[in-house]
Amino acid sequence: MTATYQKYILHFKRPSGTSRGVLKTKETWFIKLEKEGRIGIGECGLFRGLSVDDVVHYEDILQWTCLNIHLGLDVLLDELYKFPSIQFGLETAFASFKNDDPFEIFTSNFSQSKGSIPINGLIWMGTESYMKQQIKDKIEAGYSCIKMKIGAIDFQTEMNLLKSIRNEFSSNEIALRVDANGAFHPSEALEKLNKLSELQIHSIEQPIKQGQIQEMAKLCEKSPLPIALDEELIGVFSKEKKEALLQTIKPQYIILKPSLVGGFSGSNDWIHIAKNQKTGWWITSALESNVGLNAIAQWTYALKSNLPQGLGTGGLFTNNFTSPLQVKNGTLQYQKNTNWNFNL
Same domain, 277 and 212: yes
Same domain, 30 and 120: no
Same domain, 85 and 146: no
pLDDT score, position 125: 76
Q: How far is CA 201 from the centre of its chain?
A: 20
In degrees and rounded to multiples of 5, residue 147 shows phi and psi of -115, 125
pLDDT of 253-305, one tens digit each? 999 999 999 999 999 999 999 999 999 999 999 999 999 999 999 999 999 99
Q: Which of 21-30, 138-147, 254-263 has the highest mean pLDDT?
A: 254-263
Task: Quote the number of domains for the chain.
Answer: 2
Same domain, 139 and 253: yes
The answer to the question of residue 180 being in a domain is yes
Same domain, 179 and 307: yes
The answer to the question of residue 40 being in a domain is yes
Instruction: Name residue 10's beta-bridge partners.
Output: 26
pLDDT score, position 20: 62
The range of the structural domain enclosing residue 252 comes to: 116-334
**Half-sphere exposure (Cβ direction) of 11: Cα atoms closer than 13 Å:** 3
pLDDT of 84-135, one tens digit each? 999 999 999 999 999 999 999 999 999 999 999 999 998 887 778 888 888 8
Overall size of the chain counted in residues: 344
Please state, rounded to an integer, the average pLDDT across all residues of the chain.
94
CATH number for the domain spanning 209: value is: 3.20.20.120
pLDDT score, position 337: 87
Is 257 part of the annotated catalytic residue set? yes
CATH number for the domain spanning 81: value is: 3.30.390.10
Active-site pick, 149, 192, 209, 242: 149
Closest CA to 314 of 303, 298, 325, 302: 325
Q: Would you say 267 and 77 are in contact if contact means Cβ atoms under 8 Å apart?
A: no
- Residue 16's pLDDT band, with cuts at 50, 70 and 90, is confident
Is 149 part of the annotated catalytic residue set? yes
Please say if the pLDDT value at position 18 is more than 70.
no
Please say if the pLDDT value at position 314 is more than 90.
no
Active-site pick, 138, 147, 192, 257: 257
Same domain, 181 and 49: no
Please say if the pLDDT value at position 248 is more than 60.
yes
Q: What does pTM read for this prediction?
A: 0.94
